[in-house]
Every structure is written in structure tokens, then in C-alpha cells.
Chains A and B, each alone.
Chain A
Amino acid sequence: MIWEALKSLFKKPLTVQYLTKPDEKVPVPERYRGKISYNRDACIGCLLCIRTCPAGAITADERKVSFSLDRCIFCGQCSETCPRKAIEITSKFEIVVYTKSEIASQ
């Protein structure tokens, strides 16, 4: 253990210097389930997503749907259920907000 520790002293640290060095981040993989984006024009108002959303984050709204993203649990089920692919998963993951309503705009 002592050797291991002393060796590590002279190795490069494993740390990704997020926030302390500009543009350094752990890479986000392609399939990452981040914030959802909704294409209102593509939506046909079948309301299937409301039936399958486990968190009750989707509500009906004038024959289409609207999202309350503070409830979203990022499972991606809505985009899988949607027959027209009107809901897409983006790779955005840094959702840090001061009030709940800002989540949608971030």
C-alpha cells in the first residue's frame, strides 16, 4: 500500500478539472438521457405519453401536451412511446436552477 501511495504521488491525477479549467468535462455519451425537448408541431395529440409517464410530468394542453419538467425523472419513456418522435432526449445534464420554473427555460 505504501508503494502504491508513493507511486500515485508522482502519477497524473485522475481528476477531470471541471469548473476549474475551462472546457474540461467528462464526455457525454450519445445515448445519455438528459433533458427532453418537445416538438409541438410534430405532435399529433395522441396523449400516449401521458399514459406512460411514470412521474406525471406531462399534462394535456389544447389537444397537445405540456411538460412540467421539475417532475421529469429522465427515464425517456415518453420519447419511446411517442409514435411521431415529437419528444426527443437531448444530452443536456447540467440543470442547475434557482427556482423550479426555470428548469424549462434552461
Chain B
Amino acid sequence: MIALEILLATLPLVFLLSLLFEGIDRKVHARMQRRIGPPIIQPFYDFIKLLVKENIVPTTAARSIFNASPSLAAASSIVGAAIPLANLIARTGIIGDLILVMYLLTMSSIMIVVGGSSSGNPYGAVGFSRKIMMLIGYEIPLLISVVSISIKAGPSLIYYDIILAQIKSDKCLACAYISSATAALTFLLCISAAVGVVPFDIPEAKTEVIHGPLIEYSGPQLALLKLAKSSTIFSLSLLAFTLFFYFPTIYELSIVLGEIATLGACLLGSLMVMLLTVTLPRTVFARLKIGQAFKTYWFFPLPMAITSLMLSVLGW
């Protein structure tokens, strides 16, 4: 199984890339506020520092869940990011891996709030109820948009098949079909809620619920949770770019450097996606209230996702 080996090899790559992406995000965010901002490797410093810090488990916490959930969250989101990256490198896929990735990413964000609510802190509990409400809001349109794109590309639930479809038609899917363009828009709109950054960071709002689920975590546990969050950002922006905007004509030009050029271009593209969907909204919007965020998602992305699904079934 060469694919498994590649998958294992991608894990450290995901770790590095997601922290690097977070560093770039913070730098650009700072520059938009006319500050210098932290150095790009700042997330690495933070991660290592938290790893070697003391770990405190509050006496009120349900110990086993509290201890297990950060590792579970980090593991599932890193694997969730590694699968698409490994498939992109190995140029293969297994049936249903797209569903697996979406599931793992959701799992990671659920694990974070489960751990938070097991800490026994009332703010953790508020964070939990808010996160569940947010999940209902964004998860449905997100999944529908993925289903819509997979219908267009096959229909197939293999991640690499969708990329193959784009290579075959020599066009990115979002440029080729109206339904895919709508699905792409939905997906992009959902990213900032799925990763929980400012207009939708309601479950972990610092000034309202003091980081919500993260409140009682310290040291290595917190490092893992932060890693889970940044690799979710990385994974979702990579997915968004490769599923919808994979421009095959550009990548397949250079045959000599083929693999590396393709990968590099994909990463650059997903960086752009991240800057557009994570950094920019968190710079220019204020945090919404839970009711408003919920309404936002049910009024715009959900109808859009359903439209795109219908259009793709109709073959547009």
C-alpha cells in the first residue's frame, strides 16, 4: 500500500504547513491593521512553548474525556488534512474518502467543544451549546455543496476523481458549471464558520465566554487544540481550492517539475483561499450573535447549496 506510506509521510508536512499558514494569516491580519505583526514562524514558537508547559486538569473536569479530546481533535483534523494532500501527491484515492475527510473535520471541531464542556466550567458549557447550534447552521450547506460537486464530477465520492474530472475537461469545475460555481461560493462562505474565526467565532469569543471550550485547557492540551484548529483551516482551504478551482492547464504545463509545481500551485491557491475566507472576514467584520449567525447561514448558504444540488442533478 504505497498510498498509506505517502499518507504517513504527509502527516509532518501537514503539521508544518498548517502552522505556516497560521503564521501568514496572523502576519497579514496585523498588516491590515497597520501593525508589523508577529514573525511568520510565531505559531511554531507558541506550539513548542505550550508543549513544554505544565498541564493542569481541573478537579471539576470529567478527567477521561477532558484528557482525550484534544488528542482526538488534533489527530482527526490532521488526518483530515493529510488525506487530500496525500491523494494529491499519490494521485489515487479510495471510495468515500471525501466523506471521510468532511467527517473527520467535523469530528475535530466537535471534539474540541466536548472537551470544553467536560471541564466543568460554565463558559465551556455555553461554548458547547453555541457550537452545536453553529454546527447545525453551517454543516448542512457545507455537506450539500460537497455532494453537489461530487455529482458533477462523476458522480463519485472519491476526492481524486473530482480532480481528474477537472483535468479531463481542462477547466476548473467552478468555471465550467453554474451549479459548481454556486457550490464553490457556498463552500467558501462556510469556511469561516467551520473553523470558527471572527464573524463566527461565537463559541470561543474571548470577550463573551473567555475562549469558551478552551478556557480550562493549558499546556500541551492547548497546543493540540490550537493545532487542530489551524490544520482544519489548512484542510478546508486546500479542499476548497482543489475541489473547485483546480486549473489543470496551468499545472500540467511543466512536465519536468510536474509534481512539485502542481503541489506548489495548489498550496499557493489554498493560501489565497485562506486569506480570502479566513483572514479578510476576520479583519473587516465584527462578531455576530449566535442567532444572527444561525439566520445568516439558513438564509444565504443553505438555499444556495440546495439550488446548486438541484442544478447539478439537472446537469447544469
| A contacts B: CB pair < 8 Å | yes
Q: A-side interface residues toward B, CB under 8 Å?
A: 1-2, 4-6, 8-9, 11, 13-15, 17, 20
Q: B-side interface residues toward A, CB under 8 Å?
A: 28, 30-37, 280, 283-285
A14/B34 in contact, CB under 8 A:
yes
Q: Within the assembled complex, what's the spacing in Å between the Cα atoms of A15 and B37?
A: 9
Q: Which of B31, B32, B284, B285 has most A Cβ within 10 Å?
A: B32
- Nearest B-chain residue to A12, judged by Cβ: B34
- Nearest A-chain residue to B28, judged by Cβ: A9
A2/B34 in contact, CB under 8 A:
no
A6/B32 in contact, CB under 8 A:
yes
Contact of B36 among A4, A9, A15 (CB under 8 A): A15
Q: Within the assembled complex, what's the spacing in Å between the Cα atoms of A20 and B38?
A: 11
Q: Within the assembled complex, what's the spacing in Å between the Cα atoms of A11 and B30?
A: 12
Q: List 12 additional contacts besides A1-B284, A5-B283; criterion CB under 8 Å.
A: A2-B280, A4-B284, A8-B31, A8-B32, A8-B33, A8-B34, A13-B31, A14-B35, A15-B34, A15-B35, A15-B36, A17-B36
By a CB distance below 8 angstroms, the chain A residues around B31 are 8-9, 13
By a CB distance below 8 angstroms, the chain B residues around A4 are 284
Nearest chain B CB to A10 CB, angstrom units: 9
Q: Within the assembled complex, what's the spacing in Å between the Cα atoms of A20 and B280?
A: 27
Q: Which of A1, A5, A11 has most B Cβ within 10 Å?
A: A5
Contact of B35 among A2, A13, A20 (CB under 8 A): A13
Q: Within the assembled complex, what's the spacing in Å between the Cα atoms of A6 and B29?
A: 10
Q: Within the assembled complex, what's the spacing in Å between the Cα atoms of A50 and B285?
A: 54
Nearest chain B CB to A93 CB, angstrom units: 22
Contact of B280 among A5, A11, A13, A14 (CB under 8 A): A5
